[in-house]
């Protein structure tokens, strides 16, 4: 079942909340960095404010059509910006299939915030939520480029297992790209 209001998830290092129009500048700034975008399937380089605004629009309609939940990651450990917690990245449950209880995961953190355990905690929060009674999913999948050792580590630290390899045409680079497929399944109906 999809929630009626956009969920908010609370961790030790981060909170996850709905992405807002005010996040457009932070998203643009952090995704302009090729060290981040080169690991992501759909993020063009250069990345513009219009790309961010389009993403936020899609994030809203994806929630309304039950296709995806795209969360803003707010850090509780990095000094605040104005009155808000610092925006450091996004994490999504995408391609939600409520019939087969499956979805895909996607995430990125701004480069200056890497190496502090943020992605590891975000993934744990989102897996727990996706498997909770509220969302009720049973299988989550993530695609990662083989050279993305940090992301592979984060997936494995969260108990995800490599189940295969795919080779698919990648529109942004105009060539085939290999990805590893990682999966986690809910083991108990009480989870
Ligand atoms: C992958 C990414 C999300 C990790 O975020 P993060 O907040 O730095 O992750 P964490 O700090 O929670 O954990 C990173 C882990 O990777 C390890 N790591 C980092 N670089 C590594 C490397 N080159 N080789 C092996 N392990 C590496 C870290 O040591 C850490 O593991 P540890 O806790 O056992 O020491 C971030 O680097 C990122 O946004 N990259 C670009 C976008 C991306 O790759 N998204 C995922 C697409 S599948």
**What is the rounded average pLDDT of the residues 81-109?**
94
Dist. CA 114–CA 164, nearest whole Å: 27
**CA nearest to 159, candidates 191, 116, 111:** 191
pTM value is 0.97
Mean pLDDT rounded to a whole number for the chain:
95
Dist. CA 34–CA 24, nearest whole Å: 17
From ligand 1's centre to the CA of 109, what distance in Å? 9
Confidence of residue 191 (pLDDT cuts 50, 70, 90): very low
Residue 190 has pLDDT above 80, yes or no: no
**What is the rounded average pLDDT of the residues 28-56?**
98
Q: Which residues line ligand 1 (CB under 6 A)?
A: 36, 39-40, 107-109, 114-120, 142, 144, 148-151, 153-154
From ligand 1's centre to the CA of 99, what distance in Å? 32
Q: Which helix (H) or strand (E) holds 95?
A: strand 86-97
Q: Which of 70, 150, 159, 181 to mutate to test the pocket of ligand 1 (most atoms within 8 A of CB)?
A: 150
pLDDT of residue 145: 98
From ligand 1's centre to the CA of 116, what distance in Å? 9
- Where b means 16+ CB within 10 Å and e means fewer, 132-171 reads eeebebbbbbbbbbeebeebbebbeebebeeeeeeeeeee
For atom 10 of ligand 1, the residue with the nearest CA is 117
Confidence of residue 168 (pLDDT cuts 50, 70, 90): very high
The structural domains of the chain, with segments of one domain joined by +, span 9-135
Residue 181 CB contacts under 8 Å (≥ 6 apart), including other chains: 141, 142, 143, 162, 163, 164, 165, 166
Q: Which atom of ligand 1 is nearest to the CA of 142?
A: 48
From ligand 1's centre to the CA of 120, what distance in Å? 8
**What is the rounded average pLDDT of the residues 50-74?**
97
Residue 112 has pLDDT above 70, yes or no: yes
Confidence of residue 18 (pLDDT cuts 50, 70, 90): very high
pLDDT of residue 189: 59
Dist. CA 14–CA 34, nearest whole Å: 24
For tokens 């984060």, the residue is 154
Q: What is the CATH number of domain 9-135?
A: 3.40.630.30
From ligand 1's centre to the CA of 119, what distance in Å? 7
Q: Which percentage of the chain shows pLDDT scores above 90?
A: 91
Instruction: Count the Cβ atoms, other than its own, within 10 Å of residue 11.
Output: 17
Residue 125 has pLDDT above 50, yes or no: yes
pLDDT of residue 152: 98
Confidence of residue 81 (pLDDT cuts 50, 70, 90): confident
pLDDT of residue 4: 85
For atom 9 of ligand 1, the residue with the nearest CA is 119
């Amino acid at each position: 079942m999809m929630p009626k209001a956009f969920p908010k998830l609370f961790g030790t290092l981060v909170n996850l909340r709905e992405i807002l129009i005010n996040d457009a500048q932070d998203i643009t700034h952090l995704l302009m960095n090729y060290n981040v975008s080169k690991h992501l399937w759909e993020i063009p380089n250069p990345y513009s404010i219009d790309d961010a605004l389009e993403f936020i629009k899609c994030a809203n309609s994806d929630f309304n059509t039950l296709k995806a939940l795209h969360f803003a990651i707010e850090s509780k450990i990095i000094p605040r910006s104005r009155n808000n917690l610092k925006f450091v990245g996004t994490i999504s449950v995408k391609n939600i299939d409520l019939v087969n209880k499956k979805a895909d995961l996607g995430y990125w953190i701004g480069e200056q915030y890497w190496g502090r355990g943020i992605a590891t905690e975000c993934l744990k929060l989102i897996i727990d939520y996706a498997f909770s009674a509220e969302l009720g999913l049973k299988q989550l999948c993530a695609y990662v480029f083989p050279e993305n050792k940090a992301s592979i580590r984060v997936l494995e630290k969260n108990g995800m297992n490599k189940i295969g390899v795919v080779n698919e045409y990648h529109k942004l680079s105009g060539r085939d790209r290999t990805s590893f497929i990682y999966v986690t399944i809910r083991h108990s109906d009480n989870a």
